[in-house]
């Protein structure tokens, strides 16, 4: 009957030999015992080889030697079947090697008196005499707590941060020529009319194409504007304030 000091192990044995892996209950890192060749299996291989050799010799010499080879072959086959079924001799050898492997593995693990887990040296708090699950190392726990707090602070700051200041709105430009949505280019996507804004010659305000009067000062934009309206002298092209009656550069009457 196997007597394991820990429930967390793996049997890697085969018919040819025995090997076991013992795992830490916390980090699950494993320690694998040295492979031990099965003497029972090795002995069975000898009988199988003896049977095959005797059978060949019997074919050559015949008679009694052939019968000896047949009997040896039968013995080898019987042993082979026992190995496949892990017979009593193999099982006793398996149990003995397991106990040796368990003793070997115990040097690499400690049992926590609080939770009864078997842990490796990396998961053992030597200052407290407990595993790191029951008694985390102070410097490690503090560093972990600080890192978690930093993550929470960053997440909270991200939730409260304002990343957009503008108003969310959608504008559709209507072409003054065809009356359809003109798109976002410089020309209407339907009729090709220019979408550039007209600048009022009096106040400089921008107005849409086709607007008859300035939306800022009321100046007539469609048709011929007078020099008094534009303030531009027809003689010298000097710029004057809208509504000026005489050019301030050459004295030409603008009304």
Q: Tens of pLDDT along the chain (255 residues)?
A: 445 556 788 888 888 899 999 999 999 888 899 999 999 888 876 445 544 444 443 444 344 434 433 333 443 343 344 345 667 888 889 889 999 998 888 888 999 999 999 999 999 999 999 999 999 998 888 898 999 999 999 998 888 888 877 776 666 777 777 778 877 777 888 787 777 777 777 777 887 777 778 888 887 776 656 776 777 888 888 888 877 888 889 988 877
* CA–CA dist 1, 216 (Å, integer): 102
Contacts 24+ apart (CB under 8 A), 135-141: none
Residue 128 pLDDT = 92
Residue 40 pLDDT = 86
Query: How far does the chain reach from its first CA to its final CA, in angstroms?
Result: 123
Burial class of residue 223 (count of CB atoms within 10 Å of its CB; 0-12, 13-18, 19+): exposed
What SS3 state is found at 113?
coil
Bridge partner list, 118: 111
Q: How does DSSP classify residue 222?
A: S
Strand-pair category, 109-111 with 118-120: antiparallel
Phi, psi of 119 (to 5 degrees): -130, 155
Helix axes 64-84, 88-106, angle to 10 degrees: 50
Phi, psi of 59 (to 5 degrees): -65, -35
Q: How far is C-alpha 126 from the geometric centre of its chain's CA atoms?
A: 35
- Total-model pTM: 0.44
Cβ(188)–Cβ(176) under 8 Å?
Answer: no
3-state helix, strand, coil in the chain (%, to 5): 35, 15, 50
* CA–CA dist 79, 72 (Å, integer): 11
Residue 36 pLDDT = 93
């Amino acid at each position: 009957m196997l007597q394991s000091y820990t429930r967390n192990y793996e049997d890697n044995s085969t018919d040819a030999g025995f090997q076991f892996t013992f795992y830490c209950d916390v980090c699950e890192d494993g320690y694998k015992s040295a492979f031990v060749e099965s003497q029972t299996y090795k002995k069975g291989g000898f009988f199988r080889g003896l049977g095959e050799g005797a059978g060949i010799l019997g074919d050559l010499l015949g008679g009694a030697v052939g019968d000896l080879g047949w009997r040896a072959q039968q013995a080898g086959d019987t042993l082979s079947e026992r190995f496949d079924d892990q017979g009593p001799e193999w099982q006793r050898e398996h149990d003995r090697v397991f106990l040796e492997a368990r003793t070997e593995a115990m040097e690499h693990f400690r049992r926590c008196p609080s939770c009864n887990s078997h842990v490796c040296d990396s998961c053992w708090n030597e200052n407290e005499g407990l595993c790191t699950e029951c008694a985390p190392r102070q410097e490690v726990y503090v560093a972990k707590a600080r890192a978690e707090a930093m993550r929470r602070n960053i997440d909270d700051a991200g939730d409260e941060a304002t990343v957009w200041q503008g108003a969310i709105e959608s504008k559709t430009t209507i072409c003054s020529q065809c009356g359809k949505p003109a798109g976002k280019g410089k020309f209407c996507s339907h009729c090709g009319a220019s979408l550039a804004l007209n600048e009022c010659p009096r106040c400089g305000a921008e107005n849409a194409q086709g607007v008859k009067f300035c939306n800022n000062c009321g100046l007539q934009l469609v048709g011929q504007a007078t020099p008094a309206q534009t303030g531009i002298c027809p003689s010298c092209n000097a710029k004057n304030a809208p509504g000026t009656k005489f050019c301030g550069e050459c004295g030409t009457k603008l009304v």
